[in-house]
Copies of this chain bind each other. A is one copy, B any other.
Amino acid sequence: MTVIDVYKLPTSAPDDTSRLEELMDSGEIKAEDIICILGKTEGNGCVNDFSRGLATLAYKQVLADRLDVPQEKVAKEVALIMSGGTEGVMSPHITVFTRREGDGSTGSDEKRLAAGTGFTRKFKPEEIGRMPQVRATAETVREAMDEAGIEDPDDVHFVQIKCPLLTSDRIEDAHSRGKDVAVKSTYKSMGYSRGASALGVGLATGEFSEDELSDEMILNDDSVYSEVASTSAGVELERSEIILLGNSSDAASDLVISHAVMDDALDADAVRTAIRDAGVDPDAETVRDEVVNILAKAQASSDGQIRGRRHVILNDSDIEPTRHIRAVVNAVAGSVVGDPMVYVSGGAEHQGPDGGGPVAAIAEADQ
């Protein structure tokens, strides 16, 4: 049976690969088992965040060296997903996912942590932020479910996607072929691509049907969303990279995963629910030890209100909205689990309700 292991490793800088290298040196992690490295890096998480690129280059180099393959091969086979922005007390770290064949069962009927990774085809510029991206993403998500051994969509709890965005060159390419694009702003295309990717997740999990979707509703109708999608856009890729996490009876991992939906950025109860549903008492002293990581999305509510009160996030010309809200959601989740080293990523288009977002907990299973 398949075993998924998850390691949360602190980093002292975006290119600090030392903890991972120690675990590979000691044999605890085998380089060839690594299917995904999901990082929180300490840049601004916005357009000019170079901490992501630095981390990606550093880990690509380490894995290429260990596996003795070219860096391009690593990039093709391992999902290196770096999310920038560690505002407030969010502690920079990587979460390493490995997959190996286990030597038996867990001695339990309980479904255990399973994971599937996948890569979509390359997208044409004119497809980004539109239905073709939605459909292709849904297809790859379904394949990742298969790979993970998950049949019931209810067993899917977190789908992290790194998706492409539009650049000036790509827009020009579309125009030269007589095609238009969803949006001309490079920055805004990040939101369109995140939104289309999230809708692809929800389409695959059956959270809504294709009838409800169209080019026009993307980024316009926020009532349609996935509860398990977490997407981020990056300039360095033309296709999307996906890691899907859920529970499967084919898995023999020591871990389980669950999720809930935060209604707003202060929704500590949703964090507790996700933890409880993963089998851990959120009020126990040991919660920090039993929870491997919390994975959450954050977005400032678009009406400038939270719990009937005005927030100033959207009017602040000195600090970008995602920076404010990541600090908040990390503090809320961190205060519940007793650990500021939890993963919170910004920009939650079609990922949970306006102002809120999905939150997942990966925890140790009862033995």
Is residue A67 within 8 Å, beta carbon to beta carbon, of the partner chain?
A: no
Cβ–Cβ < 8 Å partners of A319 in chain B: 87, 319, 323
Q: Are B89 and A265 in contact (CB under 8 A)?
A: yes
Is residue A12 within 8 Å, beta carbon to beta carbon, of the partner chain?
A: yes
Q: Are A88 and B50 in contact (CB under 8 A)?
A: no
Stretch with Cβ within 8 A of B (4 or more), from A52-60, A107-115, A195-203, A205-213: A52-60
How many Å from the CB of A169 to the closest CB on chain B?
9
Q: Which of A312-353 contact B (CB under 8 A)?
A: 312-313, 315-320, 323-325, 327-332, 334-336, 338-341
Q: Are B48 and A317 in contact (CB under 8 A)?
A: yes
A-B contact pairs, 27 of them (CB 8 A): A14-B53, A43-B48, A46-B317, A47-B316, A50-B51, A53-B54, A54-B57, A88-B311, A88-B324, A88-B325, A88-B327, A89-B266, A89-B306, A89-B309, A89-B324, A89-B325, A265-B331, A266-B335, A268-B335, A318-B318, A318-B320, A319-B319, A319-B323, A327-B327, A327-B331, A329-B331, A332-B332
A50-B54, A89-B266, A266-B340 given. 14 additional CB < 8 A pairs?
Answer: A46-B318, A47-B317, A54-B54, A87-B327, A88-B325, A89-B309, A89-B313, A89-B325, A266-B334, A266-B335, A309-B339, A318-B318, A319-B323, A328-B331
How many Å from the CB of A353 to the closest CB on chain B?
16
Cβ-defined partner of A339 (8 Å) among B307, B332, B336? B307
Cβ–Cβ < 8 Å partners of A186 in chain B: 315
How many copies of this chain does one complex carry?
Answer: 4
Is residue A98 within 8 Å, beta carbon to beta carbon, of the partner chain?
A: no
Q: Are A57 and B310 in contact (CB under 8 A)?
A: no
Instruction: Considering the complex, give the chain B residue whose CB is closest to the CB of A14.
Output: B50
Bits for A284-325, please: 1 = Cβ < 8 Å to B, else 0. 000000000000000000001011011111011111100111
Cβ–Cβ < 8 Å partners of A12 in chain B: 310
Cβ–Cβ < 8 Å partners of A340 in chain B: 266, 306-307, 309, 311
Q: Which of A35-73 contact B (CB under 8 A)?
A: 42-44, 46-51, 53-54, 57-58, 61
| List of 8 A-B pairs having minimum Cβ-Cβ separation, nearest first | A46-B317, A331-B331, A91-B309, A327-B327, A328-B331, A88-B328, A54-B54, A268-B335
Summarize A's interface: helix, strand, loop or mixed: loop
Instruction: Considering the complex, give the chain B residue whose CB is closest to the CB of A41.
Output: B50
Chain A interface size, under 10 / 10 to 19 / 20 to 34 / 35 or more: 35 or more
How many Å from the CB of A266 to the closest CB on chain B?
4
Q: Are A328 and B89 in contact (CB under 8 A)?
A: yes
- Assembly CA distance A338 to B58 (angstroms): 38
- The CB with the most chain B CB atoms within 10 A, among A86, A168, A312, is that of A312
How many Å from the CB of A322 to the closest CB on chain B?
9
Q: A10-B309, A51-B50, A324-B327 are in contact. Are A338 and B89 (CB under 8 A)?
A: no
